[in-house]
Amino acid sequence: MIDIIMTQPALSSAKFLFQKCISESSSEGNAIEVIRNCISGKFLEDIKPTDLNKHVWNDTLEIISINKKTKQSKNLDQLYEHLPQTLQNYLINTKIKWKNYGKIKVSRINSKSEKDKLELIYVNPNASIPQHTHEGNEAFLVLHGSYKDQYGTYNKGSVQIRNEDHDHMPIGHPTSGCIGLAYTEGKIKFSGKFYKILNFFN
């Protein structure tokens, strides 16, 4: 599943962030990202160049002549340290706006105006999320801790696909709880159960 997600074009910020987080959290994802970069580097050498507008060089020179002082970044949420670097950078100096649902809290990462959705989810230690199903397909990446449901136990770097057929009651790890990233694509219509999973990321 990870390879299917990782080889999809990342044309929205939600999907791009999701892929980058997978590549940081799982070795399979990392391997694919590394391969992608190597392949792309190779193609970059062979591609036919397009002339740049002249001002680009001058502007760049101007930028590098100004000594930029890097500001100290502030982490405004205690969960920051458990997030992949990509998300830490993305959320830098930002207070994560959580919505609380009892023992879990959820924060939408990407803009509400985008049709796909990326959410950070925190499940308290030992908290169980009430039995629920999923609207459409959701890919869930475990970033920290773990959780279990009747299908299995899921650790850092694993990705699960859930849809309305999965009626489950996840429970966060007894001591560390679970931090995860949920990616939901825009509305898709599917036919057939098997097809659903295969075509999720198309």
Partner 1 sequence: MKHYNKKKKNQYIEALSKIASKKDVASFKIIFDYFGPRLKSFLMSSGSTESIAEEIIQETMTIVWTKADYYNPKLASPSTWIYTIARNKKIDILRKSNKAILEDIEVASLPPIESKLEDDIELDQKFDIINKYLDDLPKDQLALLKLNFIEEKSHGEIAKITNIPLGTVKSRIRLAMEKIRTRIKNDGNATDLNDVNIGKNIK
Residues between 64 and 83 that touch partner 1 (CB under 8 A)? 64, 70-71, 73
Smaller CB separation from partner 1, 135 or 167: 167
Asked whether position 31 contacts partner 1 by CB under 8 A, the answer is: yes
Q: Which is nearer to partner 1, 99 or 126 (CB)?
A: 99
> Which residues in 128-157 contact partner 1 (CB under 8 A)?
151-152, 154, 157
Interface residue with partner 1, options 18, 21, 33, 116 (CB under 8 A): 33
Q: Does 183 bind partner 1 (CB under 8 A)?
A: no
- Residue bearing tokens 């994560």: 96
Helix (H) or strand (E) holding 152: strand 152-154
CA distance 13 to 45: 27
Cβ 165 vs Cβ 133: under 8 Å: yes
Smaller CB distance to partner 1: residue 60 or 126? 60
CB of 123 to partner 1, least distance (A): 17
Query: Which stretch, 63-71, 98-106, 169-177, 182-190, contacts partner 1 (CB under 8 A)?
Result: 63-71
**Which residues share a beta bridge with 139?**
161, 183
Q: Which residues are paired to 128 by β-bridges?
A: 171
Query: Which of 61, 69, 100, 187: binder of partner 1 (CB under 8 A)?
Result: 61
Q: Give the whole-angstrom CA distance, residue 76 versus residue 123.
A: 19
Q: Tell me how far apart the alpha carbons of residues 128 and 139 are, in angstroms, rounded to a whole number.
A: 19
Provide the greatest CA pair distance for the chain.
61
Q: CB-wise, 70 or 103, nearer to partner 1?
A: 70
Q: Does 191 bind partner 1 (CB under 8 A)?
A: no
Decide if 167 contacts 71 (C-beta within 8 A): no
